[in-house]
Amino acid sequence: MTDKQWSDLTGIVRFEKRKPLSIGFIIDSPWLPKWYGINIIDYFTSDNLWLKANLKAIETYPGVMFLPGFWSEYGMCTEPSAFGAKCIFWKNEFPFAEKTIHASDDILKLRLPNPATDGLLPFMLNRLVNSRQDIEKAGHKIRFSVSRGPLNIASFLMGTTELMIAMMMEPEMVHRLLRIITDFIKAWHKLQRETIDSIDGIMMLDDIVGFLGEQEFLEFGYPYLKELYDEKVSVKLFHNDADCTQSVKYYPELGINLFNPGTHMTVRDLIRVTENKLIILGNIPPRDILASGTRDEIHKSVASLLAENPDRTCLILSCGGGMPPDVTNENIEAFIAAAEKT
């Protein structure tokens, strides 16, 4: 993000009104490789191609905030790799991390990973260090430390269904697992901030939060997320594009000040439920409208969202979730045009 974009974003999360309305998208490996014209495996293994793809995005759409910006990652293998997960990489499919926890007793054997040395994390961080000069030469800076959230990582280590069952049947074991993962995430974000001094934001992604009822969220989600978001940074971004209806009212209490939801709730309802205490990064339908919709459908969707939210102090216009695969330049341009027209 440029200095101006960062200044705008930090002002927005302080609820300062901005004109024109800001547009932002979360972009990473599901969208960038195909859009740039390379295979996913090339995007992951070539720092040069990774950098060029990200540079092309910011050059093509200089008026759009891309979040977190120059995201160094290996898809869903990123954090599980530090716990010893076998990571499967196909040439042009999304990677997959195999489970490492097959029985609850395996949690007792789990050890806290070192993000400076374990799994794919050193490669991620070194990519940013090596690319930093070129990123800053392009007028941008690395602003966010990034990770998946504790429940998301737990679901990859033991399986989503198994995690849900364990919450009901062996809650103490789940808390033990989440304690280790949370300590790991804290160390990982700390390392990112210490290595790159331009970082002043945190971004976490945890769709598993949306699988929980309110009481389960309060027990297994709230305390760990609150601890993780208790950092002295300006922007605290959370992504959960699963159903957030049982948990979103608690997000401001956690310290979250910017939220990227799915489409289960309207922006108007999200702002109402959180009592105007949370900036929403959203939320036209990502697949059916932004990726697959016609220009007219995109215009109507954006216009409808904006008509429902005449104040817009709590809004950064985006899609519901990260940028999905197959979004074309034509559709992004239609989105921007619709935003500028309204």
Q: What is the pLDDT of residues 184-208, one digit of tens each?
A: 999 999 999 999 999 999 999 999 9
Q: pLDDT value at position 17? A: 85
In whole numbers, what is the pLDDT of the chain averaged over residues? 97
CA angle 65, 71, 75 (to 5 degrees): 125
Q: Walk me through the domains of the chain, giving residue ranges and CATH numbers.
A: 3-341 (3.20.20.210)
Give the pLDDT mean for 70-90.
97
Share of the chain above pLDDT 70, in %: 100
Q: How far apart are CA 164 and CA 59, in angstroms?
A: 43
Q: What tens digit of pLDDT does each residue of 218-268 get?
A: 999 999 999 999 999 999 999 999 999 999 999 999 999 999 999 999 999
Asked if pLDDT for residue 27 goes beyond 80, the answer is: yes
pLDDT digits (tens, 9 = 90+) for 282-327: 999 999 999 999 999 999 999 999 999 999 999 999 999 999 999 9
* Whole-number pLDDT of residue 210: 96
- Residue among 218, 207, 215 at smallest CA distance from 244: 207
User: Given a cut of 80, is residue 342 above it in pLDDT?
Assistant: no
In this predicted structure, the answer to whether residue 23 has a pLDDT above a threshold of 90 is yes
Query: Per-residue confidence at 19, pLDDT binned at 50, 70, 90?
Result: confident
pLDDT digits over 38-63, tens only? 999 999 999 999 999 999 999 999 99
**CA angle 75–280–235, rounded 5-degree value:** 70
DSSP symbols for 298-325? HHHHHHHHHHH-SS-TTEEEEESSSPPT
Question: Hey, what are 54's tokens?
Answer: 């990200």
Host H or E run for residue 131: helix 121-137
